[in-house]
Amino acid sequence: MTYETLIVTTEGEGSRRTGLIRLNRPKALNALNDTLMDELGTALKAFDADAGIGAIVITGSEKAFAAGADIGVLAQHDFVKAYTRDLVTRNWETIRSIRKPVIAAVAGFALGGGCELAMMCDMVIAADTAKFGQPEIKLGIIPGAGGTQRLPRAVGKAKAMDLVLTGRMMGAEEAERAGLVSRVVAADQLLAEALEAATIICNLGTASVLAAKECVNRAYEGGLSDGVMFERRMFQALFGTPDQVEGMDAFLNKRPAVFPRG
Residues lying near ligand CAA in the complex (CB under 6 A) are found at 28-29, 31, 67-72, 74, 88, 109, 111-113, 116, 135-136, 139, 143-145, 147
Return d(Cα 220, Cα 146) in angstroms, integer: 13
Of the pair 133, 247, the CB lying nearest ligand CAA is at 133
63, 109 contact by CB (below 8 A):
yes
Closest approach, Cβ 230 to ligand CAA, in A, equals: 29
Alpha carbon distance 225, 206 (integer Å): 26
Active site residue 55: no
Closest contact distance (angstroms) between CB of 90 and ligand CAA is 11
Whether the CB-CB separation of 56 and 44 falls below 8 Å is answered with yes
Least Å from the CB of residue 193 to ligand CAA: 24
Indicate if 43 belongs to the active site. no
Catalytic position from the list 12, 54, 116, 197: 116
Q: 255, exposed or middle or buried, with CB in 10 Å at 0-12, 13-18, 19+? A: exposed
Of residues 115 and 211, the one with the C-beta less far from ligand CAA: 115
To ligand CAA, the closest distance from the beta carbon of 203 in angstroms equals 35
Known catalytic residue: 171?
A: no
For residue 166, the one-letter residue type is T
| Candidates 41, 105, 136, 197; catalytic one | 136
Q: Virtual CA dihedral for 252, 255, 256, 262, nearest 10 degrees? A: -70
Given the residues 31, 43, 55, 69, select the one marked as catalytic. Answer: 69
The residue among 62, 60, 55 whose CA lies nearest residue 12 is 55
Closest to ligand CAA by CB, 19 vs 114, is: 114
Closest C-alpha to 121, from 202, 167, 182: 182
Nearest-approach distance from CB 37 to ligand CAA, in angstroms: 10
Burial class (CB in 10 A: 0-12, 13-18, 19+), 77: middle
Integer Cα distance of 185 and 97 in angstroms: 28
Clarify whether 93 is annotated catalytic.
no
Nearer residue to ligand CAA within complex by CB, 28 or 234: 28
Q: Which is nearer to ligand CAA, 20 or 88 (CB)?
A: 88
Instruction: State the catalytic residue, choosing from 68, 113, 114, 205.
Output: 113
Catalytic residue numbers, as ranges: 69, 113, 116, 136
